[in-house]
Structure 1
Amino acid sequence: MINKFKNKSILGLVTFLLISGLMLSFTLKNDKLFTIAKNLDIFASLVRELDSYYVDEIDAEELVTIGINAMLEELDPYTEYIPEENADDFRLLTTGEYGGVGALIGNRAGKNMVLMPYKGFPAQSAGLRIGDEFLKVDSVNVQEKETADISALLKGPENTTVSVQVKRGEDTLSVELVRKKIVISNVPYYGKVDNQTGYIKLSDFTTNAAADVRKALIDLKSQGITRLILDVRDNPGGILKEAVEIVNLFIPKGKEVVRTIGKLESVNSVYKTTKSPVDKDIPLVVLINERSASASEIVAGALQDYDRAILIGKKTFGKGLVQTSIPLSYNSQVKVTTAKYYIPSGRCIQAIDYSKKDISGNGSSIPDSLRNEFKTKNGRIVLDGAGIEPDTKTESKTYAPITYSLVARNHIFDFGNKFFIENKEIAGPREFKVSDQVYEEFVDWLEGKEYDYTTFVEKSIEDLEKYAEKEKYYEDIKNQIEDLKKKVTHSKEQDLITFKDEIKEALEDELISRYYYQEGVIEASLKNDPDIEQSLEILTNPSEIKNILTVSTKKK
């Protein structure tokens, strides 16, 4: 009897707690919905009253958009509002397709101009060149317009015409272009570095990225390559599915590539390879750097976790957040962070915690002491919380101040325009070299042009002088400082000799771009790329490959 009463009491207590919990959950949910509704009503009322009473006329739509964007900035940099008028730009980012003329445009020295016509598209076919300055698009004078405004004028439905007026040197030209569907390839270049080593440059993860890589890989294999370099440096990422399929080119069917975990069950997914690989054995290097992000990090990280590739370069950006596009009213949408992704070892490579911000509103980096250890298939230690770290690190290439100055002041660019007008052709991207004669022409052309700069040593002496004055030591050491100044004061003429090789390299890239476009620039860059050199050293040494992929080289 006592036990029966006891059981009933326990059952009654459990029932009471369940009902109470449900009521509390219902109340909390209702409270949250009420809070949202209340604040939305306040916001709408505020905009209405501002529109009625504010002393000057206001643009209510602009104010609301500013408010939305300010609200989203409190979350993370990847959650963003996309109004209807920006839908085409957003579609371009995800699909790589748009209706237009096929040219990269930008502003140089206050002039809007063509920076790169894409090969085979209307701008290039109609004869537009790098350096052509935009004067008019149709009847609109665009000399004072923003680059984005000019880009919008050039875009439009396929098979419609747009007239542009450009200035080339002293000449003014009018060109009529027929807009076409522009599909930007995710693989702007692939080829052979040497007789046995293939190279694929993957610049984006828009629609068909995996198909583009697959096609390049199959073609290279038909040419007899026995090893491969996949370059995702400077690749900002894109469509997750494309990253999974690219990994699938190199690992077997049924393997997990990435999983997404978020607040809602509907966003939790496991992405596995679904096809037979193109080549699961070819020795593989993936090149990464600090601007490799998101889908690039999934590809690099998954291949590292399976010990399928050697990563060479620099630590990646560290974006482990997944965004989902959600439609809103009036054809607008929001791209919102819904989950984090985790690669096969179990690590998340997100480097910034946006839930913990400093007084300036910046997210906090994850300290090394809180980073966790995970293991690759072969037992190598890898860490979470700060991007993907390469198996072999390389140093960034540095340039002398004179080279930076010549590039920043557009002297390299302008000489490229001059050279192209005067020379109909040059040797191929790998064969072309700036001769001493051409370099001397460049030096003579620089005569009278402004490109002054401060060297690192000169800046250090300036800092020394300031600190000496601040700390009252200047009078004691001013003679020595003046002597140092005299000894290290740079001579532009001498620097043009001292740093001739690297200035020639910058000139070569600029000149090659005029004749061979984006593909030629990439191909030419392979000649002087330290990451490529490091890749070849490792790929041609099987024992080194085995050592890197089987020995733990990372420590917490």
Structure 2
Amino acid sequence: MKKKTLYLFIAASLSLLVAYNSPDDHYFEVMKNLEIFGSLFKEVNTYYVDEISPNELMNEGINSMLNSLDPYTNYIPEDQIEDYRIMTTGQYAGIGIETITREDGKTLITKPMKGFVGEKSGLLIGDQILKIDGIDVTTKNGNEISHLLKGQAGSPIEVVVKRFGSDKPLTFKMVREKISTTNVPYFGMVSNEVGLIQLTDFTYNASKEVKDALLKLKEQGAKNIILDLRDNPGGLLGEAVNISNLFVPKGSEIVSTKGKVKEWNKKYNALNNALDTDIPLTVLINSSSASAAEIVCGVIQDYDRGVLIGQNSFGKGLVQVTRSLSYNSKLKVTVAKYYIPSGRCIQAVDYSNRNPDGSVGKVPDSLRVAFKTKIGRVVYDGGGVKPDIENEKPHVPQILSVMLRKGLIFDYATEFRVKNASIAPAKEFKLSDAQYQDFVKWLANKDLDYKTRVERTIESLEKTAKEEKYYDDIKPQLNTLKDKLFHNKDNDLQKFKSEIKEELEKEIASRYYFADGRMEASFDDDPDIKAALALFKDESKYKKILSK
């Protein structure tokens, strides 16, 4: 069967080659190379010394070819179509466990979705999954476990877990249901007059979710809005257009696309009456805000509709569409670049001009072109969207980074939940100094060994000095530096107390109030939210930023 398919492929290539036999014709080059590829593939399969998998070899060849273009042009084989559908629609059937993680050989539930059968049945963050429908999953990877949790809506499922503090496994019998992951995992009031909408995706219905959230916040008294697009990777262009339309008037150009094929040269305008063109608006962005998220924040900036706060966005100005291929596979291919209302393309990486070694670089500052917003503020293309108020990305101390990587913050929050039936509302919850000291004591027998960047630099310097025979000359100075700079774990626990407490409070709040709790526990510490609140209080500064 494999040989038959291969010969059919070669025959088809040859027949097309006859149709495009002009040496000047671009398609002649295409089909000539297809013939060469087909012949080579046949010869390798026939004569290579060891048995090889045609599917694996072909997938490797396809992926290597597409990798030479850009990271967003991808081949999706039949066995990955379901995962792709879930990613683009946000819909599947299961029990509502959004994320699981492997830690120390255990599979732990890290994010049950509020309101779905898993959470309603009593599954908690930190539960270790032991069995699914009688299948031992203790040695399976995350993808295998995820597939076992999913199935037909209405089908029964039995999940056995081990809960911290209990030696007896717990069995949960449930029925799978249709799951729709939300694009707006949180909206709520940050203060009496400021509402916040967290938008994390642009799958179907994203614009409806944002619209509904905005209306409800206004009903609750919101006179200012924070739209949080941080860590939003983008998604459907149509949803970006509709979300932008909520804040800018009907008829406004939102985005245009230009590609090699004329059918991708399009303009997308706001088709509906705006929901609110006047409410003061801030948009939070960071280096992981990409694609559709950049269209929205770019529209807000280009029309001087609101103030952008945070860090420079990712810089993805490329449009992809999905094309159907043989045998139920698909190709996601970049077909155009998009341009926001000022006329700028925010694409930051130049994939069309690779370096000799195959690497790609960002568009150099010397080639970036200036554009103007509606009232004449200067903005630039070729490097993402630059915020109006720049906040440095919060520094994560080495000790906290190690705690997060080793799951110590996660494990302590799980244990805290077992020992404490309730806590204050997430907005008010604070760890006391005594509770923080309990955490410090809990760490005493945990693996928290680490080296700071300064320590690694000194060790490298010491090694180089020995190799180049300068060590004896600088040994006293190095020893002095070591005494002063080598970290002390106990000192670091106090020096970075505020940063560690902040992370603990968010993780603990999530045990009681899920994603809402994590977000609300961050309100008083989040530098971007604090900057937005301060700006809303200073009306003259807000207006000055949005003036020429």
TM-score, structure 1 as length reference: 0.91
Deviation, structure 1 residue 480: 2.1
Q: Cα RMSD (Å) of the superposition?
A: 1.8
8 Å contact from structure 1 (residues 313, 392) kept in 2: yes
Deviation, structure 1 residue 443: 1.7
Larger C-alpha radius of gyration, 1 or 2? 1
Paired position in structure 2 for 1:372:
369
Paired position in structure 1 for 2:325:
328
Residue aligned with 1:374, SS:
strand
8 Å contact from structure 1 (residues 197, 228) kept in 2: yes
The CA distance in 2 between the partners of 1:37 and 1:399, in whole Å, is 53
Map 1:424-443 to 2 at 5 A.
Answer: 424-443=421-440
> Relative to structure 2, which stretch is displaced further, 488-497 or 100-109?
488-497
Paired position in structure 2 for 1:134:
129
Identity %: 51
The letter of the residue matching 1:238 is G
Distance change >3 Å, CA 55–CA 459, structure 1 → 2? closer
The CA distance in 2 between the partners of 1:37 and 1:166, in whole Å, is 56
Residue aligned with 1:282, SS:
coil
Deviations 1:306-337 (A, max 9, x none): 11111111000000000011111111110000
Paired position in structure 2 for 1:57:
51
Residue aligned with 2:448, SS:
coil
Is 1:287 aligned to residue 281 of structure 2? no
Select 1:35's aligned residue among 29, 32, 35: 29
The CA distance in 2 between the partners of 1:484 and 1:364, in whole Å, is 38
8 Å contact from structure 2 (residues 22, 28) kept in 1: no
Paired position in structure 2 for 1:421:
418
The CA distance in 2 between the partners of 1:470 and 1:255, in whole Å, is 66
Deviations 1:217-271 (A, max 9, x none): 0011111211111010000000001011111111100010000000111111100
The CA distance in 2 between the partners of 1:256 and 1:300, in whole Å, is 14
Is 1:78 aligned to residue 75 of structure 2? no
The letter of the residue matching 2:103 is R
Paired position in structure 1 for 2:110:
115
Select 1:245's aligned residue among 238, 242, 245: 242
Deviation, structure 1 residue 152: 1.4
Paired position in structure 2 for 1:22:
none
8 Å contact from structure 1 (residues 165, 172) kept in 2: yes
Paired position in structure 1 for 2:182:
185
The CA distance in 2 between the partners of 1:28 and 1:542, in whole Å, is 68
> Relative to structure 2, which stretch is displaced further, 518-527 or 293-302?
518-527
The CA distance in 2 between the partners of 1:73 and 1:314, in whole Å, is 28
Deviation, structure 1 residue 402: 1.8
The letter of the residue matching 1:228 is I
Task: Flag structure 2 segments of 5+ consecutive residues without an equivalent.
Answer: 1-19
Paired position in structure 2 for 1:3:
none
Select 1:342's aligned residue among 332, 336, 339: 339
8 Å contact from structure 1 (residues 134, 167) kept in 2: yes
Select 1:198's aligned residue among 195, 199, 202: 195
The CA distance in 1 between the partners of 2:409 and 2:403, in whole Å, is 6
Is 1:98 aligned to residue 92 of structure 2? yes
Select 1:362's aligned residue among 359, 371, 385: 359
Paired position in structure 1 for 2:403:
406
Distance change >3 Å, CA 28–CA 549, structure 1 → 2? farther
Task: Flag structure 1 segments of 5+ consecutive residues without an equivalent.
Answer: 1-25, 552-556
8 Å contact from structure 1 (residues 189, 523) kept in 2: no
Map 1:200-279 to 2 at 5 A.
Answer: 200-279=197-276
TM-score, structure 2 as length reference: 0.92
The CA distance in 1 between the partners of 2:345 and 2:387, in whole Å, is 16
Distance change >3 Å, CA 432–CA 28, structure 1 → 2? farther
Deviation, structure 1 residue 55: 3.5
Select 2:473's aligned residue among 462, 472, 476: 476
> Relative to structure 2, which stretch is displaced further, 407-416 or 338-347?
407-416
